[in-house]
Amino acid sequence: MIIRTIPLGPVRANTYIVTDEKSGSTFIVDAGAYNPRLERLINDKKIEYILLTHGHFDHIMGVSELKKRFPDAKVCIHEADAPMLSDDMLSLAFAFGAGVDKDLKADIILHDGDELPFGDKKIRVIHTPGHTKGGVTYMIDDCMFTGDTLFCGSVGRTDFPGGDSKELNDSICRLFDIDGDFNVYPGHDMNTTLSDERKNNPYVDWRK
């Protein structure tokens, strides 16, 4: 798998472009904007999914345009965050002077434990609420896309509507409890590994 990272949109949320070399299939994780740079990187790809880690505006503002260019790509979001896709208030777009597409809808509503086929692999969905009610982490191979749940040396904010610090800690502990090491690709800033975060993240109360 080839993973490319582009920070996009008003607060530079990471957009990930993940391509399976064998099948040529690609999925995108979050899209804070649609711009020529993103377009150059994906215009020859077969985009199967637009996977959303949660419904905040800074992760979804590029989704409508993406969906227009790639109508076959399935927009996926957890059921608890799905209403945020088309709602300026819920997505916080309004509070930050932005706007979202009122007609944007999910193609696939996700639940904890769902698996999305991708080439000869599967993308596993883990419900990780706490930053929002419907935050999810996507797992494939040794990679985790954690959105605004877990960052390198930090964790997501819990002071927005739907946020809950206990829930967030429980969600991250669930990730930490998964055996083995993973590359962690968060919603903002640089990537990290699960083993580093287990050892060094000062915001997580985790005991094995």
Taking the complex as a whole, the smallest distance from the CB of residue 196 to Zn ion amounts, in Å, to: 22
Among residues 121 and 158, whose Cβ is nearest to Zn ion?
158
Q: Which residue has the tokens 């208030």?
A: 89
Q: How many CB atoms are located within 10 Å of the residue 24 CB?
A: 11
Q: How far apart are CA 191 and CA 181, in angstroms?
A: 13
Taking the complex as a whole, the smallest distance from the CB of residue 25 to Zn ion amounts, in Å, to: 27
Taking the complex as a whole, the smallest distance from the CB of residue 114 to Zn ion amounts, in Å, to: 21
Interface with Zn ion by CB under 5 A: which residues?
56, 148
Residue facing Zn ion at closest CB distance: 56
Q: How many CB atoms are located within 10 Å of the residue 28 CB?
A: 27
Taking the complex as a whole, the smallest distance from the CB of residue 155 to Zn ion amounts, in Å, to: 12
Among residues 34 and 163, whose Cβ is nearest to Zn ion?
163
Among residues 79 and 141, whose Cβ is nearest to Zn ion?
79
Among residues 48 and 188, whose Cβ is nearest to Zn ion?
188
